[in-house]
Amino acid sequence: MTDPNKGKGGTFNADVNGSGYPLFVAETADIVLKEPPDGNDYWQGIGSHTVGELPVVNTYLSVYVVKNTKPGTYRLEEHKKTVWASYGVQTAGNIEAYFSVSGEVKLTVVPSDADQRLEGTLSFTAEYNDRQVHVSNGQFNLTKTNQITSSLLDTPRT
């Protein structure tokens, strides 16, 4: 079977409960290095998935990793300034950005200047206003390709 994501920055897949879009399979994926003014640089692994035809709905799944973070398992409640995640739903003129409040990210490969890959698994609960989504069985295997240069889900760490 041919991988439809091959050559598009890798794969990013997960099950999503609570958003109305239960399966996330990225059509485009990439890694972006974010360099905020505070000097706390981080990598964002992002996948984009289009649902439906008209109206078009775009969904996004991201994992964020502070630069120079080591491989390992990170509880999002404990390491929210080192590793965090988000899920977004974009419709015409509106985006709902759900940011992780609990869960776990396991990093098996983290980006460096010499090797710009991000691999691992994730499962998390995220909130937007008074709503929650639950992302489970997430798997990502990403390589920097410069296909995505910015993200609707940029976020400061809190």
Question: What is the tens place of the pLDDT at every residue in 69-119?
Answer: 999 999 999 888 899 999 999 988 788 999 999 999 999 999 988 899 999
Residues 96-115 as b or e (16 or more Cβ within 10 Å = b)? ebbbbebbbbbbeebbeeee
pLDDT digit string, tens, across residues 5-37: 444 689 999 999 998 889 999 999 999 999 889
Q: What is the pLDDT of residue 37?
A: 92
* Residue 13 tokens, joined: 């897949």
Contact 61, 12 (CB under 8 A): yes
In angstroms, rounded to a whole number, what is the distance separating the alpha carbons of residues 51 and 37?
35
Q: What is the pLDDT of residue 56?
A: 85
Q: 153: pLDDT confidence band, cut at 50, 70 and 90?
A: low
Domain ranges in the chain are 10-143
pLDDT higher than threshold 70 for residue 47: yes
Average pLDDT of the residues in 137-155: 75
**Cα 136 vs. chain centroid, distance in angstroms?**
13
